[in-house]
Amino acid sequence: MSITFKPLHPIFAAQCGGVDIGTPLSGDDAAKIHTAMDRYAVLVFRRGTPLTTPQHIAFTAALGEMEPPFTKIVSGEGLRLDDPRLSDVSNLSPGERLLGREDRKRLHGLGNRLWHSDSSYKRVPARYSALCAHVIPPEGGDTEFADMRAAWDALPPGRAAQIRDLETEHSRLFSKGTLGFQYSEQEVRDFAPVRQPLVRINPRNGRRSLFLSSHAGRVLGWPVPEALMLLRELTEHATQRCFVYRHQWQLGDLVMWDNGATMHRACVYDDLKYPRDLRRTTLTNGMPAMAA
């Protein structure tokens, strides 16, 4: 069976068929997935059964170098997943209980409802993220994706010229700070701001995109209020409905997205009543983002 890609949105996102991601990827299929990621930026793999941890790791590693471990905000009961290469995107404790309202991991995770790009707060940002659904709530909890390439293309020429060469600073201190989350002294050091281009380019096809995220909180050389207004204006522009694909999760779905071409956010659900267990692996870009 040959690998196929069915568009899910007029400008990006596609469902991938004809490949079993629970078995080792062939080099040919991996190459086709990379090509499709450059075209669609978001790929959905529907399989009905969640990947095991070894399957999830093997699928991701077949596509590139995985991110090294980084500082995590955990529940008071500790880590829930036993492989550091998996990010626990859930509202569950190590005992599989729902996190309490005041649990530090829960409060930090609320920031996932802000538009963001994974690991933009690292000097070397993420390339692909691959999120697998193990438990989904009966309602809510969708994930939205916004195409930053289309958003760049739609900017008025004068605005595009004004911002093309700007640099920003990204940090979790900026994103979670807007929610009032308090970090420890060590976490403040770990999450020191890093510089990123506001507009970056895909070195494989030359396509430009906005590099926006809730983690972005400064524009180098600009007064803070003016910088924040610019970032807010661009985020509002980039998340218009015409640029957004909303994914409704089914058990076993794996959704992979290109952090260099998209932003995403979790949608609200009753996390004090229903479990939601998604697990993510992440590929590194391998080098700092390339400015346009």
> Would you kindly state where each structural domain of the chain is located, as residue ranges?
4-284
The per-residue pLDDT of the chain, averaged, comes to 96
Rounded to an integer, what distance in angstroms lies between the CA atom of residue 65 and that of residue 282? 9
Sheet holding 216-219, edge to edge: 194-197, 167-170, 216-219
Rounded to an integer, what distance in angstroms lies between the CA atom of residue 259 and that of residue 235? 15
The CATH code of the domain at 4-284 is 3.60.130.10
Q: Which residues touch 110 (CB under 8 Å, ≥6 apart)?
A: 179
Structure tokens belonging to residue 247 = 């994914």
Mean pLDDT of 258-283: 98
Write down the H helix ranges in 164-277.
172-175, 185-190, 224-238
Mean pLDDT of 261-278: 98
Residue 1 has pLDDT above 70, yes or no: no
**Greater model confidence, 110 or 70:** 110
- Chain centre to alpha carbon of residue 232: 19
Mean pLDDT of 173-202: 96
Structure tokens belonging to residue 4 = 């196929």
Handedness of CA 152, 158, 161, 162 (dihedral sign): negative
Residue 260: helix, strand or coil by DSSP?
Answer: coil
Rounded to an integer, what distance in angstroms lies between the CA atom of residue 85 and that of residue 10? 33
Q: Give residue-wise pLDDT tens across range 207-229.
A: 999 999 999 999 999 999 999 99
Q: What is the CA radius of gyration of the chain?
A: 18
Write down the H helix ranges in 164-269.
172-175, 185-190, 224-238
Q: Are 87 and 290 in contact (CB under 8 A)?
A: no
Residue 1: helix, strand or coil by DSSP?
Answer: coil
Q: Are 164 and 156 in contact (CB under 8 A)?
A: no
71: closest CA among 213, 177, 185?
Answer: 185
55: closest CA among 130, 140, 125, 136?
Answer: 130
What 55-61 contacts at long range (C-beta under 8 Å, 24+ apart), as own/partner pairs, is 55/21, 55/22, 56/86, 56/130, 56/132, 56/254, 56/279, 56/281, 57/83, 57/85, 57/86, 57/281, 58/24, 59/21, 59/22, 59/25, 59/130, 59/254, 59/281, 60/128, 60/130, 60/281, 60/282, 60/283
The pLDDT, as a whole number, for residue 69 is: 85
Mean pLDDT of 75-86: 90
Residue 72 has pLDDT above 80, yes or no: yes
Residue 75 has pLDDT above 90, yes or no: no
DSSP 81: -
Half-sphere exposure of 48 (CA within 13 A, CB side): 2
Burial 165-175 (b: 16+ CB within 10 A, else e): ebbbbbbbbbb
Mean pLDDT of 20-39: 97
Residue 135 has pLDDT above 90, yes or no: yes
Q: What percent of the chain has pLDDT over 90?
A: 92
Residue 15: helix, strand or coil by DSSP?
Answer: strand
